[in-house]
Amino acid sequence: MQAARWFGVGSAEGLGVGAGARAAGDALLGDDAKLVVVFCSQSHDLPGLLQEIRARAGDVPLVGCTTAGEIAVSGPRDASVVVVALGGDGFAVDTGYATEASRGLREAGANVAQCLPEREDLRHRVLLLLTDGLAGDQQQIVRGAYGVLGAEVPLVGGCAGDDMKMTRTFQFHGDQVLTDAVVAAGIASDAPIGIGVRHGWRRVGEPMLVTSSAENHVYTLDDRPALDVYLEHLGLEEPASDGEGLARLALTHPLGVSRPGGEDKVRLISGGDVAERSLSCIAEVPQGALVWIMEGDAQSVLEATDAAAGASLAALEGRPPLGMIAFDCIARRGVLGEDGIQAEIDRLAALAAGAPIAGFYTYGEIARTRGVRGFHNQTLVVLSVA
């Protein structure tokens, strides 16, 4: 007898043939799956991996992306594949995708938002978004989706990774391997869905004024080249000459953008131009804003883990979770270290009380439950499904 609703997770380490089939086989708890979600390293043979998963799942709607590391209940992984499947009559799902997203991020968000099912008997809804974080200002995708769905439908998800190469990420829809894309799954449920978000970073040093910026590029801070000012605040001379070197340096020292009456917005520095001395971020840093260097430690990051998971579970109206998906910024992994990220997943598992956990390390996180804004950096977002 099929369960009215179920949530399964499977994972497999290694890049060889069969990893996708093993992970999908463990995730598919019933023959009435409504959605399959795939998180994996970009080092896989991606078309072959999807072919294996589709061979097990059939024509069930599928979305996914490459990562900067994968998360399963057994712990953090690299060069692995994690598959999430949910099914039963308690869910209805439709999916969508938009390519060449960098040419119109807001339009891409609006296009994929139209995939949300309309079911009066399934009143709990969420739009899951997986995006190319290297395509430009991700907040524009959130604005586009919000413009279609309005305030009543929450948005959740994350930006694909490429194992910290910061050159090219991939998104999946059905059997397609895409890049510069946004993929989405509109999920309708007859039981609650909860979202929690926290970052655990704090300001250090003196504020800096953004005196020249455009979208996600910062050109000057305090009327001086942004890269020079940033390095001076860190007490450093010069990073590696490539964008990847700067991105790795900046992992544990993001920018915090002052937000009146609320928690600072945190912006991941994805690279920069050493010749023009500018910084590139995953999302907009407005001209005229006050910014700070941010830092965190293991204690503050783990406290944010407890708070994010707790908030997502509190939204389930007293029901136990079927499962959790964590969208965890790669920078938090840099702060915690290998022992710390295992401790983080152990804490999530304890709060989930036996429910399966999956997720990935991201280049940015999406969590919009109120207001128009909903893009985050250096943050943990937890999606709990009752």
The H-assigned helical ranges of 136-192 are 139-149
Q: What is the pLDDT of residues 247-271, one digit of tens each?
A: 777 778 889 898 776 667 888 888 8
Establish how many alpha carbons lie within 13 A of residue 289's alpha carbon, considering only the half-sphere containing its beta carbon. Answer: 22
Q: Tell whether pTM > 0.75.
A: yes
Torsion of CA 205, 210, 212, 218, to 10 degrees: 60
Residue 124 three-state SS: strand
Alpha-carbon separation of residue 142 from 62, 158, 312, 376 (angstroms): 21, 11, 20, 11
Contact, 326 vs 358, CB < 8 A? Answer: yes
109 CB contacts (<8 Å, ≥6 apart)? 98, 129, 140, 141, 142, 143, 144, 145, 146, 147, 148, 182
Residue 85 confidence class, pLDDT cut points 50, 70, 90: very high
Helix axes 105-113, 139-149, angle to 10 degrees: 40
Percent of the chain with pLDDT over 70: 96
Answer whether residue 13 shows pLDDT above 60: yes
| 17-31, 81-95, 365-379: segment of lowest average pLDDT | 365-379
Residue 244 confidence class, pLDDT cut points 50, 70, 90: low
The H-assigned helical ranges of the chain are 19-27, 46-57, 105-113, 139-149, 226-234, 243-250, 298-314, 330-352
pLDDT of 306 reads 94
Mean of all residue pLDDT scores within the chain: 92
- Rounded Cα–Cα distance for residues 29 and 357 (Å): 15
Answer whether residue 286 shows pLDDT above 70: yes
Domains of the chain with bracketed CATH:
6-198+300-385 (no CATH), 202-294 (2.40.30)
- Rounded Cα–Cα distance for residues 54 and 20 (Å): 9
User: What is the β-pairing status of strands 357-362 and 323-329?
Assistant: parallel
CA torsion through residues 309, 311, 312, 316, sign = positive
Mean pLDDT of 173-200: 96
Mean pLDDT of 282-304: 89
pLDDT of 336 reads 87
- Rounded Cα–Cα distance for residues 284 and 267 (Å): 8
Token readout for 36 is 């399959």
| 135-144, 157-166, 332-341: segment of lowest average pLDDT | 332-341
Mean pLDDT of 58-85: 94
Helices and strands: H and E segment counts in the chain: 8, 26
Contact, 66 vs 42, CB < 8 A? Answer: yes
Q: What is the pLDDT of residues 114-123, one digit of tens each?
A: 999 999 999 9
Contact, 117 vs 186, CB < 8 A? Answer: yes
Contact, 142 vs 135, CB < 8 A? Answer: no
Residue 102 confidence class, pLDDT cut points 50, 70, 90: very high
- Rounded Cα–Cα distance for residues 147 and 231 (Å): 38
Residues in the chain: 386
Answer whether residue 204 shows pLDDT above 90: no
pLDDT of 2 reads 61
Token readout for 354 is 């036996």
Mean pLDDT of 9-27: 95
Answer whether residue 298 shows pLDDT above 90: no
Residue 282 confidence class, pLDDT cut points 50, 70, 90: confident
Cα 143 to chain centroid, rounded? 16
Nearest to residue 53, comparing CAs of 30, 76, 24?
Answer: 24
275 CB contacts (<8 Å, ≥6 apart)? none
Nearest to residue 333, comparing CAs of 363, 364, 365, 361?
Answer: 361
Highest mean pLDDT among 196-210, 236-250, 344-358 belongs to 344-358
Answer whether residue 210 shows pLDDT above 60: yes
